Structure 1
Amino acid sequence: MKPTAVILKDLAEPSNIAVHSNSELAGNVSAAAADDDKQRKGKDVDPLRRKPELQPIPAKDLARSAELTPWDVLHTLGRAITLARRGAGRGLAEHWGCLKYNQALTGDAASFMALSAEGRETADYYKALQSGELGTGFALALATRLLNMRYPDRFVSIVPADTALRAGWALTSRDSGPRSGYRYRPQFFAEVWKPGEPSRVIPIACKGNHSGLSSSYTQLASASAHVEAVHIGAWDETPCLVFSTELPLDGPLTVHTLEAEGSGGWLDAPARVLDHPLEDDNVFPGIQPPTQSKTPPEPVPGYHVKPDLYAWFQHALARTTAAGLTAFAGDGKATAPYLTKRQGQRHFTGLSHAATNSVQDARHRFLDIDFVGTDHVFRLNRKRVEVFSGVAKNVFRHLEKGQVDQYRREIYARRSTWPRDTWDPRWNGPISVHSDGSVLAMRLLR
């Protein structure tokens, strides 16, 4: 059993991540999709509608070896699942779920990251959960890096797709409004934005496995159906990213990724005032294919953001992002106004189950920046540790007051100025600061 102090050091240690994206991968994924279609036809089941022409990502945009720390990956995962509503925390403490992987990864600057002994043992019991969640962390970290490279004059926000879509569509039987009845959806959107200009939105589907390369082919083929479920603008012009993270029980992990190009995804409409509340809309489900004759074809299952919805969707994405940040800081009172009823506003206003609540009442200074947020104390190998998640104080105050436009202007201006240190000597523990102003830090409790 590693000493807790060593575990904390390991979390801050950069390690290499193998990235696999080439024409051979695209061909094998296409073959896996064709095989799945064949099996579906044999069972009298309609083949899935998939994103056509998945292509490799050029190495100039995403290097075939990327350097990350385990703590940065866990920070990315924690931010991604803040509004997931999967646990008894009812939204206020969902992000602490990333901490169960504190000892799951190992590696250093001279090697590639892999599952640790504990990660391999956990995989024996919780394969799908561990591979899926860690896969999300790695995929979104690399997606953000890729889009920052391609759009250096813009800011990249990762938005949970289900939460954003719920503002306009009824996704399940529990949601009010006309149901789509379609279970395929991307897990996330990347909103690439600049204050005062149209955003570009890129659907992302990410999966993970402990099984091997062939499973990644199948997962990427499935992911191509998930990203195809959302069209923004013209038919089949929405760009997308798909990821499958292979976490073998013996050997380094590899992130397999492909993309689909397209001229769509731009929310080109007069911008709304983002400070104004958002109400649930009732968008009729379905994607309208292009008309080839006088009779328009029937809509296909999915979610279509047409031009008349561009301003509304940009509004929904911005306020959903704000909700994720205030929830990450533990402030339910500040989170509720950013969400509509269907998005789960009530989860941040009612009573919470015992030991699952978060309260925004903690303050710390990291790397000469003041942060406000919430803390969590638990035992790691019998030692008590403290974890803090929060947002930079000066930018959080904008969110607390409902000033989304001002928040976005400020973090856009500061996007390249945040510290990149992975350890704070004064705090004496691993630290991760993201360009959205959020922080995740952990230390031995004195």
Structure 2
Amino acid sequence: MALARRGAGRGLAEHWGSLKYSQALAGSPEGYVRLSAEGRETAEHYKALQSGELGVGFALTLATEILSRRYPEHFVSIIPADTALRAGWALTSRDKGHRSGYRYRPRFFAEVWKPGEPSLVIPIECKGNHSNAATSHEQLASAAAHVEAVHVGTWNETPSLVFSTELPMDGPLTIHALRAVGSGGWLGKSTGSGGRNLDEQVEERNVYPGIQPPSEGNRTPSPEPGFHIQPEHFDWFQHVLARTMAAGLTAFAGAGDATIQYLTQRQGQRHFVGFAHAATGSVQDAQVDLLKLRFVGTDHVFRLNRTRVEAFSGVAADLFDHLASGRVRQYRSEAYLRRNTWPRDTWDSEWGGPVSVQRDGSVLAMRLL
């Protein structure tokens, strides 16, 4: 969420904005996850934000688990779709280029990748509600319009995932999930391309918006609204995804200077240049040993119901060094080899709190002060 620039994840100095949800949920290893008393008492005007952001968290966790099991020899990365698409398309009136004028698009892409091979791109849309299954069914139906707005390769063959997380006032949390099957989504080699160096900057393009249906005899139908990643864009878009993923990790570690190199102007490079407001800025200036590994990143102190809590977010020191130096290929190669070797422990007694290490080498740790 560090690149999304919206909601509780729009700045690492707002750690408290998203981590407060640890107080909104209750459960145990033997039971279901459900809303806590505090979660149920959330002010009415805040309910939609709470269910939407919790819906994102649970949906992406489930999507990563599903795809990792389905493609065990690959790595799964979650990338904000708006940021990736902006490298080639103008999404709003503030963006320079041919504006699509189409407001539907997926919230995230899952990139299923392996070094040196084509990636699989899966659009993901996730919603949440505090109501019931009927509301979730409506959300799933509306989510379909978002994932169908992006086609990768062959017309109407891009697989996708849609989720609706139901957070009722009473009863367990329920995730409704649907997938669209398809043989597309793979970023094969572009025609006449010699491959790309992921360590080099990606160029910003102005792809004309629209999804091109197949020809019917001698007639070429008019494009449908949306975004079509055609075969001639495959190498370029795989380059975009790799560098956008790198930008997300450096932003998560609070390293604005390292993030700038990975984004184009339209992707939000300006957010990491110069002065950052205290509510959205962060500085990579902390080193912490967690579960016997060294991590570098940023830390913040906030309050949960009057209790002071420290949160640290960062990346394994050796992997961060590759990212800070622009070595994306080496980062991806090492992250892929180490994807199943990270500690699975969730508590570090020396740190004094819970620790979560992800397959990409990122970490989030909390402790009471």
**TM-score interval w.r.t. the shorter chain?**
over 0.9
Give the alignment partner of residue 272 of structure 2, picking from 339, 345, 348: 348
8 Å CA contact 2:13, 2:278 repeated in 1: no
Moved over 6 A (4+): 87-90
Give the alignment partner of residue 202 of structure 1, picking from 109, 112, 122: 122
SS of residue in 2 equivalent to 1:439: strand
8 Å CA contact 1:169, 1:281 repeated in 2: yes
Q: Which runs of 5+ in 1 are unaligned?
A: 1-80
SS of residue in 2 equivalent to 1:316: helix
Aligned to 1:405: 329
Q: How does 1:337-416 map onto structure 2 within 5 Å?
A: 337-416=261-340
Give the alignment partner of residue 256 of structure 1, picking from 176, 179, 182: 176
Q: Does 1:141 align with 2:61?
A: yes
8 Å CA contact 1:93, 1:330 repeated in 2: no
CA distance in 2, matches of 1:285, 1:371: 41
Shift of 1:100: 2.5
SS of residue in 1 equivalent to 2:161: strand
Q: Does 1:329 align with 2:250?
A: no
Shift of 1:124: 2.8
Aligned to 1:271: 195
Compared CA separation, residues 360 and 149, structure 1 to 2 (3 A)? same
Question: In the TM superposition, what whole-angstrom CA distance separates every residue of 1:61-99 from its partner, at most 9, and x where no partner exists?
Answer: xxxxxxxxxxxxxxxxxxxx1111126997564665321
Aligned to 2:343: 419
SS of residue in 2 equivalent to 1:384: strand
Letter in 2 for 1:366: L
Q: Does 1:176 align with 2:96?
A: yes
8 Å CA contact 2:159, 2:184 repeated in 1: yes
Aligned to 2:211: 287
Give the alignment partner of residue 189 of structure 1, picking from 109, 121, 135: 109
Letter in 2 for 1:119: G
Aligned to 1:102: 22
Aligned to 1:16: none
Alignment TM-score, normalising by the size of structure 1 = 0.80
Give the alignment partner of residue 118 of structure 1, picking from 34, 38, 44: 38
CA distance in 1, matches of 2:49, 2:195: 39
Segment drifting more, 152-161 vs 264-273: 264-273
Shift of 1:123: 5.6
Alignment TM-score, normalising by the size of structure 2 = 0.96
8 Å CA contact 2:8, 2:18 repeated in 1: no
SS of residue in 1 equivalent to 2:164: strand
Shift of 1:125: 3.2
CA distance in 2, matches of 1:307, 1:215: 38
Shift of 1:134: 0.2
Question: Percent of pairs identical after alignment?
Answer: 70
Letter in 2 for 1:244: S
Q: Which runs of 5+ in 2 are unaligned?
A: none
SS of residue in 2 equivalent to 1:420: coil
8 Å CA contact 2:2, 2:10 repeated in 1: no
CA distance in 1, matches of 2:81, 2:14: 16
CA distance in 1, matches of 2:125, 2:357: 24
8 Å CA contact 1:364, 1:372 repeated in 2: yes
CA distance in 2, matches of 1:94, 1:162: 21
CA distance in 1, matches of 2:214, 2:17: 43
Compared CA separation, residues 134 and 356, structure 1 to 2 (3 A)? same
SS of residue in 1 equivalent to 2:162: strand
Q: CA RMSD in A?
A: 1.4
CA distance in 2, matches of 1:122, 1:198: 45
8 Å CA contact 1:237, 1:262 repeated in 2: yes
Compared CA separation, residues 228 and 291, structure 1 to 2 (3 A)? same
The size of the alignment, in residue pairs, is 365
Letter in 1 for 2:237: F
CA distance in 2, matches of 1:392, 1:228: 36
